C-alpha cells in the first residue's frame, strides 16, 4: 500500500512537471498499458530527466517500480573531412631520346606499378647515339642520380632559370671508358629552342617552367634519371624481377656468411676501388671471419633495369659485434653475363641513405596543371665542358 501511494504521488509530481504518464513504467498495473522498459536500475541510483527545469534527477523508489528516463533524440556525428592521402616513394625521371619526351614517375619496389606523374617535351644532343667521349655532342644513356641544382643566374642565358646536374660518368660509364662531364637537365634562353629537338651539346633541355617544376621533385642525390633511346625497354617487368631476385639472393648469402655463394654473384670483371675480383674475395673473407656476431639488414630496395645494365639501390645497416657500425646506401651495378644471368660489375657504398619523397595529391595537381612558359632568366657564368 505504501509503495502504491508513493508511486501515485510521484506520478502526479511528474505530470505536474510536464512528464507524460506513459513515461512512468510499473509492473504493478497502475498505468493504462504495459510498456517494454529497459532493465531496472539498481535501488538508490538517480535517473536523469532532461528538459525539466530545476530538476536534475528523480530517485528510484523501488526495484519493482523503476522510472525510465525519456529517450533523447540521437545526436548526429560531426562531419569529418577525410585527410588527403600523402604519397611516399622514390622518384624516377625516364628520358626517351627517340620520342623526345621525359616522364616523371614514382619508383616503387619491384612488382608494383609505377605511377606516371607528368610527361615533358625535351631537346637532346645534336648527335645521335650514346655518349662515348667528351665533346661528341651526344646525350648519354644510362642510370644516373641528380645533384644539387645550379641557379641559372650564375650561368649563360642558354641554360635558362636552373640546371640540375647528373652523375655522368657513373661507375659503369667509367668501366666502359666513356669520357666527358657536365651533363645537365636545364632550361633554355627561349622555349622555342626545345622545339628544335636536337640542339644541345649532350644535355637534356626542358621548357623553363618545366625545369622549375622538376627542381622541386628531383631531390639532390635521391632522384634517379634513366636515359635511353627507347624507355619502353627500361624496367621491363621480367628483367626487374630477375634483378630483384638476384639482389635478394646476394643479400641472403651475405647474411649467412656463405662466402662462395656470395662471390658467385660477382662478374669476373668486377672492380671496387683498387680491388679486383680476387682481392675482393680475400677482403670479404676477412670481413666474414672478423666478427663473432654479424648482422646486415637492407631496406628501401629498388631496382632499375636498362638496355645496357641494371642498378639495385638500397639502404644498408651493417653491425659487427658491438665494435663496428656502418649505415648508408649500397648501389649494385649489374650487367648480363654470357650465360644470360645478371652479375655485379661495380659496387658502391655511400654514407647518405636513400629517402623516399613525400608528396600530396594537391602537389601532383599543381605539377600537372602548370603549363610551359617562355620565361627566361639572365645570368653569367661558365658553361659545362661536355
Q: Rounded CA gap, 250 and 301, in Å?
A: 13
Three-state DSSP state, 372: coil
- The residue behind cell 513515461 is 23
d(CA 122, CA 86): 29
Lowest mean pLDDT among 117-131, 210-224, 342-356, 372-386: 372-386
Give me the DSSP letters along 27-51. Answer: SSS-SSSPPP-PSPPPTT-EEE-TT
Q: Which helix (H) or strand (E) holds 96?
A: strand 86-96
pLDDT exceeds 80 at position 125: yes
79: which DSSP letter? P
The predicted structure's pLDDT at residue 53: 40
The rounded distance, in Å, linking the Cα atoms of 99 and 121 is 9
Torsion of CA 71, 72, 74, 77, to 10 degrees: -140
Cβ-based burial of 155 (10 A; exposed 0-12, middle 13-18, buried ≥19): buried
Torsion-angle region of 18 (φ positive above 0: left; ψ -120 to 50: alpha; else: beta):
left
Q: Please tell me the class of the 86-231+359-369 domain.
A: mainly beta
pLDDT tens-digit series, residues 151-209: 999 999 999 999 999 999 999 999 999 999 999 999 999 999 999 999 999 999 999 99
The cell for 69 is 528516463
Max Cα–Cα distance, the chain, nearest Å = 114
**pLDDT band per the 50, 70, 90 thresholds, residue 97:** very high
pLDDT of residue 43: 41
**Tell me, what's the pLDDT at 5?**
42
- Pairing label, strands 116-125, 198-200: parallel
HEC secondary structure over 279-302:
HHHHHHHHHHHCCCCEEEEEEEEE
252/187 Cα distance (integer angstroms): 45
Long-range contact pairs involving 23-29 (C-beta distance under 8 Å, separation at least 24) = 23/67, 23/68, 23/70, 24/67, 25/66, 25/67, 25/68, 26/64, 26/65, 27/64, 27/65, 28/3, 28/4, 28/64, 28/65
Half-sphere exposure of 359 (CA within 13 A, CB side): 21
Q: How far apart are CA 250 and CA 252, in angstroms?
A: 5
Average pLDDT over residues 64-91: 57
Q: What is the pLDDT of residue 366?
A: 87
pLDDT beyond 50 at 34? no
**What is the structure's pLDDT at 370?**
75
- Provide the residue ranges of all domains of the chain, joining segments of one domain with +: 2-59, 86-231+359-369, 237-355
Higher pLDDT, 54 or 295: 295
Average pLDDT over residues 234-246: 96
pLDDT of residue 18 exceeding 90: no
What are the residues facing 331 on neighbouring strands? 313, 348
Does the domain spanning 237-355 belong to CATH 3.10.450.50? yes
Q: What is the pLDDT of residue 79?
A: 54
Name the band, by pLDDT with cuts 50, 70 and 90, for residue 381.
very low
Q: Per-residue confidence at 242, pLDDT binned at 50, 70, 90? A: very high
pTM: 0.74
What's the rounded mean pLDDT across residues 124-149? 97
Amino acid at each position: 500500500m505504501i509503495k502504491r501511494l508513493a508511486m501515485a504521488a510521484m506520478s502526479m509530481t511528474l505530470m505536474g512537471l510536464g512528464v507524460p504518464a506513459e513515461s512512468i513504467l510499473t509492473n504493478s498495473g497502475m498505468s493504462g498499458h504495459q510498456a517494454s522498459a529497459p532493465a531496472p536500475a539498481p535501488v538508490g541510483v538517480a535517473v536523469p530527466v532532461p528538459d525539466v527545469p530545476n530538476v536534475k534527477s528523480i530517485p528510484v523508489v523501488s526495484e519493482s517500480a523503476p522510472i525510465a528516463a525519456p529517450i533523447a533524440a540521437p545526436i548526429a556525428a560531426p562531419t569529418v573531412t577525410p585527410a588527403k592521402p600523402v604519397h611516399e616513394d622514390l622518384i624516377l625521371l625516364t628520358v626517351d631520346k627517340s620520342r623526345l619526351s621525359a616522364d616523371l614517375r614514382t619508383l616503387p619496389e619491384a612488382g608494383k606499378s609505377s605511377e606516371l606523374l607528368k610527361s615533358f617535351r625535351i631537346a637532346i644532343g645534336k648527335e645521335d647515339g650514346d655518349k662515348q667521349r667528351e665533346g661528341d655532342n651526344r646525350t648519354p644513356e644510362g642510370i644516373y642520380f641528380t645533384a644539387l641544382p645550379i641557379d641559372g643566374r650564375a650561368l649563360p642565358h642558354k641554360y635558362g632559370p636552373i640546371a640540375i646536374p647528373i652523375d655522368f660518368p657513373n661507375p659503369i660509364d667509367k668501366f666502359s671508358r666513356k669520357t666527358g662531364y657536365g651533363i645537365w637537365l636545364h632550361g633554355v634562353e627561349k622555349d622555342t629552342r626545345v622545339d628544335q629537338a636536337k640542339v644541345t651539346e649532350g644535355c637534356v633541355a626542358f621548357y623553363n617552367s618545366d625545369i622549375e617544376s622538376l627542381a622541386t621533385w628531383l631531390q639532390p642525390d635521391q632522384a634517379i634519371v634513366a636515359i635511353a633511346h627507347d624507355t619502353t625497354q627500361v624496367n621491363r617487368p621480367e628483367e626487374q624481377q630477375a634483378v630483384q631476385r638476384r639482389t635478394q639472393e646476394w643479400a641472403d648469402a651475405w647474411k649467412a656468411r656463405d662466402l662462395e655463394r656470395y662471390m658467385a654473384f660477382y662478374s669476373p670483371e668486377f672492380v671496387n676501388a683498387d680491388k679486383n675480383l680476387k682481392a675482393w674475395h680475400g677482403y670479404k673473407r676477412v670481413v666474414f671471419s672478423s666478427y663473432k656476431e654479424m648482422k646486415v639488414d637492407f631496406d628501401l630496395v629498388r631496382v632499375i633495369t636498362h638496355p645496357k645494365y641494371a642498378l639495385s639501390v638500397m639502404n644498408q645497416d651493417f653491425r659487427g659485434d658491438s665494435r663496428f657500425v656502418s649505415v648508408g646506401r649500397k648501389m649494385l651495378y649489374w650487367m648480363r653475363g654470357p650465360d644470360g644471368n645478371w652479375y655485379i660489375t661495380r659496387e658502391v657504398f655511400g654514407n647518405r641513405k636513400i629517402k623516399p619523397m613525400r608528396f600530396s595529391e594537391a602537389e601532383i595537381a599543381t605539377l600537372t596543371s602548370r603549363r610551359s612558359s617562355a620565361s627566361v632568366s639572365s645570368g653569367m657564368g661558365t658553361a659545362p665542358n661536355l
